[in-house]
Structure 1
């Protein structure tokens, strides 16, 4: 399988290709401009010399008249050794030609042209000898431009060499620049490679980071923060669950060992089994609650919607808890009406948790108030009870697992501190949110459901 090029290599090759392209285009334009300049100079030179030869041959109309003008013609040729001359008469014969021994005739077309003969490059200008005659001999001037062509060839070779060297230099410099520019990415990769359960507090610094990587750096640090928070929560959860399971398991183990230490009556064994059954039921409920929370955290809990009369559901719960409220002389009331579309069993579980929690913390002779009301945000359900105020620093953690309002109290063996966490998961599964307020002798759990719930 072909190995993929690194980002540094790709950028280096891109820099080199761009530089080579620019250099090549610039060199080609310079070469073409130089060639056009030489052609213009040659044309000016040949046109100027053409007038000299016309002046020297102004008396020549026929081949017989040429010998009289030869001295003047040769004098002009002597003054310009880089020129050759050919006269083509109007009778089809060559009257004069300095290109002795040439096997190929110059181009017959009039005007300025390039011609090569015997390894020599010529710039050729062909024109009528006389401008006032209907049929005149043609004069052809040939300028040796071999040195021009050698210059252009050397310049083209230099252009190619420059293109190659500039591409190589740009590739090397581009690799260095790319490596320096990508250093934050390498640092990010090193940090990511070193991330483990014991190094989640490591963060990337944004000092000196290019503007394009600031957002990526912030997102990477935020990801590490989420991982750190999740790991801390998982570690705390593991410690909490170990602590919560240790007590009932220890009770079961101790009670069983004591019972088996010596023979007992059948009633004693039956009593021990009933006690163990209660502990096992508590453990089963705790495991079931933790499984529910685990599914909720991974979005596996789906609320089945059905029309419900929320006021009737609250009234049913009030009736269910009426023996407890009468025993503790707690006054419970409900106000407001609302119809909702929700999962009845899940919603009953959430409301039962809140009402049970309120009953446990409401002192004798206190009050519990259930209120249904509609506002601009939708439906709001408030479960309020009188009693001790919850410390402000504890309120943000009330809905975490195994958190109790009074950590010093066990609140009875049946409560493991999972009720509020389950309640929040159920409310969120229905698209709502829940919060707690505690002040002035009242503790309120406020559930906010969106419009159309």
Structure 2
């Protein structure tokens, strides 16, 4: 069974609401009109009752019948029946009166052969228990016809109102839902090759503006993620192509003719270096994949930052001495984190600083500790990094100078990406700033996180 569209549902809902409101208003008007006619009839019959009692005050007098006829002649649709206390009929003003009339006192309604009457029963003498009974009958057939026509008009109005509201509601719903169709059209056109479509937020109604904003933000994230994934795949292929080509070429050359055992040993050793580099590259990529999926779970233990930095500075001291670069550390601080992960992040920054610090340069690690956060600044002298390159330093496989790869995984452009993943896993933030004389990588750990 085909489902109703949202426009059709809204149109039917509008029609149903209009029909219910119109019907309710019509029923109230019909009841009010009927009550109004009853009140008018009650007033009329009460007035006639007073006149008839006055005319029949002395029922034995000779002119009582004349007075009665005169009183009845003033209201053409009024009839009278007088019965004794024993129930015998004394007088009928019209021969067409029904034989059986309501006996209960007060006002009632009677229908006889298509004629509607309002009937009022009252004693002739109020103070006498055996008083004759007066029954006044008022022909209200024209009132009832009016009420019936009004009820028909109400039903016709309800039907026409529901139909008109359904048509207008369908038009209004279709016009109001045009932004949703626009969203659907944009969503249907989204693919891996076209992620640049956006919704015009300024033309959206307030109820859909926020959804359009989030929809555009989602497309922006998808586009950015897809571009990064495409670049990542291309970079992986590029990084693995060179060592694989080296392995194939070196192996083919080695196998072209018989060689001495030492030559084979040297060839295998060279291949082993390439394989170790590839294995490390794959491990780094797997590490980043875990970070992307939130699978890095640091073991948070109290760590003294000064001790961790001093340990790494001691490790890099021989390399710094050979490059004639000075190493120093200032300040101290205490955080909770994973020792192995943080040492890896700090060593990536120190290794990066050693490679780009000129001879006679200086690498300083400054630790600033406060009640809310701990900040580490890895600063090295050297050339300024252009502002256009700073946002991309933490991208995977990105290198400001691609020609400066030295053949190991630490220089494949993954070190800073891994460092950022480790810092984020600890709830921290990392940024880079550069001036004419130095470059600084700043890590901030929030202690209240």
Q: TM-score band (shorter)? A: over 0.9
Kept after mapping to 2: 8 A contact 1:384/1:442? yes
Map 1:176-195 → 2, pairs under 5 A: 176-195=171-190
Cα distance in 2, alignment partners of residues 145 and 343 from structure 1? 98
Matched, 1:421 2:420: no
Among 433, 443, 446, the alignment partner of 1:450 is 446
- Match of 1:190, SS state, is helix
Map 1:422-441 → 2, pairs under 5 A: 422-441=418-437
- Residue 390 of structure 1: how far off its partner (Å): 1.0
Map 1:270-285 → 2, pairs under 5 A: 270-285=265-280
- Residue 105 of structure 1: how far off its partner (Å): 2.8
Cα distance in 1, alignment partners of residues 280 and 82 from structure 2? 121
Question: In structure 2, do the counterparts of structure 1 residues 452 and 205 end up closer, same or farther at CA, with 3 Å as the change threshold?
Answer: closer
- Match of 2:217, SS state, is helix
- Most deviating of 402-411 and 32-41: 402-411
After superposition, the CA RMSD in angstroms is: 2.2
Among 93, 96, 105, the alignment partner of 1:98 is 93
**Counterpart in 1 of 2:237?**
242
- Match of 1:445, SS state, is strand
**Counterpart in 1 of 2:17?**
18
Kept after mapping to 2: 8 A contact 1:104/1:117? no
Kept after mapping to 1: 8 A contact 2:297/2:425? yes
Query: What TM-score do the two structures reach when normalised by structure 2?
Result: 0.93
- Most deviating of 260-269 and 46-55: 46-55
- Match of 1:26, SS state, is helix
Map 1:1-400 → 2, pairs under 5 A: 4-61=3-60, 65=61, 69-90=64-85, 92-98=87-93, 100=95, 104-130=99-125, 136-375=131-370, 377-400=372-395
Cα distance in 2, alignment partners of residues 379 and 200 from structure 1? 40
- Match of 2:397, SS state, is coil
Cα distance in 1, alignment partners of residues 43 and 376 from structure 2? 100
Kept after mapping to 1: 8 A contact 2:119/2:135? yes
- Residue 338 of structure 1: how far off its partner (Å): 2.3
Cα distance in 1, alignment partners of residues 145 and 304 from structure 2? 101
Question: In structure 2, do the counterparts of structure 1 residues 390 and 207 end up closer, same or farther at CA, with 3 Å as the change threshold?
Answer: closer
- Match of 2:244, SS state, is helix
- Residue 95 of structure 1: how far off its partner (Å): 1.4
Question: In structure 2, do the counterparts of structure 1 residues 7 and 389 end up closer, same or farther at CA, with 3 Å as the change threshold?
Answer: same
- What residue ranges of structure 1 are gaps of 5+ in the alignment? none
- Match of 2:100, SS state, is coil
Cα distance in 1, alignment partners of residues 178 and 51 from structure 2? 72
Query: What TM-score do the two structures reach when normalised by structure 1?
Result: 0.92
